[in-house]
Structure 1
Amino acid sequence: MQTCAEWIMQATGITCHSDKVRPGYIFVAIVGRITDGNAFAAAAAARGALVIVSDSPARLPPLTLPVITVPDARLALARLAALFYGNPSDKLHLVGITGSNGKTTIACMLEHIFTQAGLTTGLIGTIRVNTGTNSFPSTLTTPDAVSVQHYLAQMLKNKVTHAAMEVSAQGIDMHRVANVRFSAGILTNLCADHLDFHGSFASYLEAKAKFLDLLGTATPLIVNIADPYCQAIAGRFSGKLITAAIDSPADITASITHLTTYGSAFTVTVNRPLEAGNGQMLPAGRYPMTLALPGRHNVENALLAGIAALVHGLAPETIGAALAGFRSVERRMNIFHLEGLTIVDDTALNPGSIDAVFAALASFRYNRLIVVNAIRGQRGTAINAANAAALTGQRRKLPFELIITASNEQVGPADSVTAEEKLAFLTTLNTLKTDYTYTGSLSGAIRLALRHALPGDLLLLIGAQGMDAGRQVLSSLAKTPENPCRDQGHYPRPAWSAAAE
């Protein structure tokens, strides 16, 4: 029987979705968490599939076309996709970025730095995909293996030379980035997240550690060594390690000299000569940088992105000029003003990102702080309990009024908050004696915040999909006659309570 590689020579395409099969396609049947691809093999055959690939042939229906049995269908999909598209990552300078927080900002920073350096640049990330001549919204942080290889092949076709890619823990575990060659890796930071998928924090950490297996011995791994979990994973890496930290011992460090609401100034110190990918050596030295983004965490993001650019041969001066012109990514510490209020919109979705946002608020000037937080839907009870505990921890350091919402009218089934998730979040707040107000709708939560707000106050909108429409809803509500900010807040303020709908 022909091997998978031999079938590739005849194939017109490859997919694991039966509805995408066209005549001559290879259909890879994957046993998923919800559905079993083997059950759709007959449909794939009817649509003209060339061959079926499965790691569970006993689950297949009777078929007349060839079946190839493999040990792992997901790995086979990744290998087949790479072969079909000609292993495009082998011909790209591709930086893989993993970690709990900062991936999106770092990827976009790298895209901006490479572009400003005159390079044709690509991006695969949470917010969008850029194939060099075409940019469009993405649906997953790390797409499926076929899409990854397709995007990389499109980049090559469009003469992209340098690209950045976010690599999620699920993407690693599900082999979406198997057979992708990275020219450098970045490990940002680690905290509890995606516990619904991985089951435990330990399993999540182990999935992140598998990122090391994707890097060759000559591929540099850039690590935020100040993070204890990153430090532990870095200790398992046998390849070329470059450590980074703010105000802590590392190969390359950043020292913050100025931190304000709208940006920072910092000095990057290269403590030992650094070998770049072009064979040149960057001597030890100090390089002043500025960044038009708030927060210590964004300095950390800039440091990691800057090091990745250094190892690809870019000059520190080029990197510094690019970072100075970089602007915030969608829903990452976005600051705007409305009716006398300062609003910060951030996708903070786990304890680490919640803590980072509140730390950044230390440089803000305001009268009172009002926080509207969206519960994470379809992500499990553990992460929601952890996020509630993180908010309680911040409340003990800093007074603020807290409004919790499920954003019922804004999210679809994939992101809707379950009764168990809502209970986990609110019970944690109750147990920790944290006052709050709950409202099911996002519009209700923001309307309540506006009713309580006065000019000079700071309104913080945080959360993932449930808060994506927060700014739009806020802008719409602020134009209505009931907005108290329009007449300087001459409205009674209802008492805040822990009662939940």
Structure 2
Amino acid sequence: MKILRDILYGVTIEKVIGSTAAAIQNIHFDSRKVQLNDLFVAIRGTQADGHDYIRKACEQGALVVVCEEIPELVINGVTYVEVSNSQDALSIMASNYYDNPSASLTLVGVTGTNGKTTVTTLLYQLFGAAGYATGLLSTVRVMVGNQEYAATHTTPDSLTINYYLSQMLEAGIEYCFMEVSSHGIDQGRTAGLSFAGGVFTNLSHDHLDYHETFKAYRDVKKSFFDGLPKSAFALTNVDDKNGAYMLQNTRAKKKTYSLKSVSDYSARILENQFNGLLLKIENNEIWVKLIGAFNAYNLLAVYATADLLGMDCLENLQLLSTLESVDGRFQYNLTEGQITTIVDYAHTPDALENVLSTINAIRTGNETLITVVGCGGDRDREKRPRMGAIAAASSNKVIFTSDNPRSEDPEAIIKAMVEGVSPEHFNRMLSITDRRQAIQTACQLADAGDIILVAGKGHETYQEIAGKRHDFDDFEIVNEYLNALNK
């Protein structure tokens, strides 16, 4: 149990009714989980307002309520703490409750539209291979050393983050690499964490359903770097037009990387093939197993981060050459029938364009490139016609299909994608709502030497339709169909 006054250390408090000497069992922001002697944090969310559940939490045994507005009817024996922002308060309290584990780890946050999962996972691989006890908080998985846990969000809630960080500390973890999403920053989930460094990958059109404007989305990303301490480093991709902007107000040590601009860390692509890249990093040639210019940026960010954390240059380069691609990120396979399949998480216009341009830069031009792609429901609608236009313009054939429609009509989503297709590309496209059928059709259309790209879901092993998740793995399905056709 923890004493309330210790949990509240660092929280900006407006008013207290009751005693701060209360002994707290657990902290919850979901009233359904509250039990005797717990602390309940009332948060105003996008779907519900936690203040509406204060009474329920108290009836279930809450000893303390932290809220932005104290209710008119206060219950005897319950301590009420009024704060200006419950979400920020929760993040600080979560850190205090778990004894500030991030302060005892070397925690590096990676943010940007694309590349977060790849960069964090490759850093986890690199430092693990170097013999360090390493942790990972990513979209795909949470790793406490070699122990794997399922991931639910790009950036989990602050209680979950601090729980895993405390588990890492108990397990003797030295380094942790963490994806930092714009939602996580905006909702204060990373407040109270001690970062040793921050990395910016790139910025493109995404999440405008949440942030409403690109400027708001960009400025939320920037606020992460604004909050880094002087002791940390801030590493940014200056080939991205927003890269330098991220560093404008940071107190951290400013460092840059690029393939095209003058920077602290630079690289050049010498060869780009389906089996890897030949890179020149800091005057050293290195062959790596990852593919495409976007992965050259990811690898350079990994190299620079490792260097800033003190890794020896030669060891850094040697280990970089052994790194494997991340599940669902340009996941490549050549079938027995000599058809190349690529599964990628590309779910933004920029990411889709990167993957398609990489494929088109490597291929001979004699093959047919068939792209299967959709857009998620209940998400940024503005990107749908843009993704449709990119897919049709850069593929020989494109099949528009369902992604994770969630509560939306999948056919309406597909229609929005088709609206972006130029008239000269109409003859290239098909619309097949059922994703499994769309993949099967792509397999039937492909001949030996052709390329099938299945984009949008990547590592996900489910499809979310009308509030339910159904088992669905793009990589397994596309290769299963092709292997069956080859028999």
Instruction: Output the TM-score relative to the length of structure 1.
Output: 0.86
Task: Letter of the 2:322 partner, please give it.
Answer: G
Equivalence for 2:378:
378
Equivalence for 2:396:
400
Identity %: 27
Aligned-partner Cα distance in 1 for 2:315–2:185: 32
Equivalence for 2:420:
428
Equivalence for 2:343:
345
Displacement after TM superposition at 1:424 (Å): 2.4
Equivalence for 2:431:
438
Equivalence for 2:333:
336
Displacement after TM superposition at 1:319 (Å): 1.3
Aligned-partner Cα distance in 1 for 2:134–2:475: 30
Displacement after TM superposition at 1:235 (Å): 3.2
Alpha carbons of structure 1 residues 200 and 350: separation in structure 2 relative to 1, 3 Å = same
Aligned-partner Cα distance in 2 for 1:61–1:168: 38
Secondary structure at the aligned position of 1:228 is classed as: coil
Displacement after TM superposition at 1:195 (Å): 1.0
Equivalence for 1:259:
272
Aligned-partner Cα distance in 1 for 2:22–2:198: 32
Aligned-partner Cα distance in 2 for 1:46–1:197: 34
> Matches of residues 207-286 of structure 1 in structure 2 within 5 Å?
207-269=220-282, 286=283
Displacement after TM superposition at 1:452 (Å): 1.2
Equivalence for 2:150:
137
Check whether the contact 2:20–2:79 (CA below 8 A) recurs between aligned residues.
no
Task: Letter of the 1:246 partner, please give it.
Answer: L
Aligned-partner Cα distance in 2 for 1:330–1:53: 40
Per-residue Cα deviation, 1:260-281 (whole angstroms, up to 9, x for no partner): 1111121222xxxxxxxxxxxx
Equivalence for 2:173:
160
Alpha carbons of structure 1 residues 335 and 133: separation in structure 2 relative to 1, 3 Å = closer
Task: Letter of the 2:123 partner, please give it.
Answer: L
Per-residue Cα deviation, 1:174-193 (whole angstroms, up to 9, x for no partner): 00000111111100000011
Aligned-partner Cα distance in 2 for 1:71–1:174: 14
Quick check: 1:19 aligned with 2:39? Answer: no
Secondary structure at the aligned position of 2:421 is classed as: helix
Equivalent of residue 115 in structure 2, options 89, 102, 106 = 102
Equivalence for 1:325:
322
Alpha carbons of structure 1 residues 431 and 231: separation in structure 2 relative to 1, 3 Å = farther
Aligned-partner Cα distance in 1 for 2:411–2:66: 39
Displacement after TM superposition at 1:304 (Å): 0.5
Per-residue Cα deviation, 1:281-338 (whole angstroms, up to 9, x for no partner): xxxxx33332101111111101111111111111111111221111111100000123
Displacement after TM superposition at 1:118 (Å): 0.9
Per-residue Cα deviation, 1:6-56 (whole angstroms, up to 9, x for no partner): 858721221211222232221101111011112222232233222111113
Task: Letter of the 1:401 partner, please give it.
Answer: K
Aligned-partner Cα distance in 1 for 2:133–2:334: 35
Quick check: 1:44 aligned with 2:57? Answer: yes
Equivalence for 1:471:
475
Aligned-partner Cα distance in 2 for 1:419–1:178: 40
Check whether the contact 1:92–1:160 (CA below 8 A) recurs between aligned residues.
yes
Alpha carbons of structure 1 residues 67 and 360: separation in structure 2 relative to 1, 3 Å = same
Secondary structure at the aligned position of 1:56 is classed as: coil
Check whether the contact 1:182–1:215 (CA below 8 A) recurs between aligned residues.
yes
Task: Letter of the 2:205 partner, please give it.
Answer: A
Aligned-partner Cα distance in 2 for 1:227–1:434: 32
Q: Which runs of 5+ in 2 are unaligned?
A: 10-18, 464-471
Aligned-partner Cα distance in 1 for 2:362–2:21: 57
Alpha carbons of structure 1 residues 125 and 321: separation in structure 2 relative to 1, 3 Å = same
Equivalent of residue 291 in structure 2, options 272, 290, 294 = 294
Alignment RMSD (CA, Å): 2.3
Secondary structure at the aligned position of 1:256 is classed as: strand
Alpha carbons of structure 1 residues 441 and 316: separation in structure 2 relative to 1, 3 Å = same
Task: Letter of the 1:116 partner, please give it.
Answer: A
Aligned-partner Cα distance in 1 for 2:74–2:424: 57
Aligned residues: 458
Task: Letter of the 1:403 partner, please give it.
Answer: I
Per-residue Cα deviation, 1:425-456 (whole angstroms, up to 9, x for no partner): 22222678544211111111112112211111
Check whether the contact 1:287–1:316 (CA below 8 A) recurs between aligned residues.
no
Aligned-partner Cα distance in 2 for 1:8–1:31: 26
Alpha carbons of structure 1 residues 62 and 440: separation in structure 2 relative to 1, 3 Å = farther
Aligned-partner Cα distance in 1 for 2:112–2:21: 34
Aligned-partner Cα distance in 2 for 1:347–1:134: 24
Aligned-partner Cα distance in 2 for 1:243–1:124: 24
> Matches of residues 105-116 of structure 1 in structure 2 within 5 Å?
105-116=118-129
Aligned-partner Cα distance in 2 for 1:18–1:300: 44
Equivalence for 2:16:
none
Check whether the contact 2:236–2:246 (CA below 8 A) recurs between aligned residues.
no
Check whether the contact 2:22–2:63 (CA below 8 A) recurs between aligned residues.
no
Alpha carbons of structure 1 residues 8 and 264: separation in structure 2 relative to 1, 3 Å = farther
Q: Which runs of 5+ in 1 are unaligned?
A: 270-285, 487-501
Alpha carbons of structure 1 residues 459 and 418: separation in structure 2 relative to 1, 3 Å = closer
Check whether the contact 1:15–1:27 (CA below 8 A) recurs between aligned residues.
yes
Check whether the contact 1:224–1:243 (CA below 8 A) recurs between aligned residues.
yes
Task: Letter of the 1:312 partner, please give it.
Answer: L
Aligned-partner Cα distance in 1 for 2:447–2:483: 15
Alpha carbons of structure 1 residues 374 and 412: separation in structure 2 relative to 1, 3 Å = closer
Per-residue Cα deviation, 1:112-163 (whole angstroms, up to 9, x for no partner): 1111111100010100011225211201010001111111111111110111
Alpha carbons of structure 1 residues 472 and 183: separation in structure 2 relative to 1, 3 Å = same
Secondary structure at the aligned position of 1:403 is classed as: strand
Equivalence for 2:15:
none
Alpha carbons of structure 1 residues 135 and 379: separation in structure 2 relative to 1, 3 Å = same
Secondary structure at the aligned position of 2:419 is classed as: helix
Deviates more, 1:32-41 or 1:382-391: 382-391
Aligned-partner Cα distance in 2 for 1:240–1:212: 11
Equivalent of residue 355 in structure 1, options 334, 353, 356 = 353
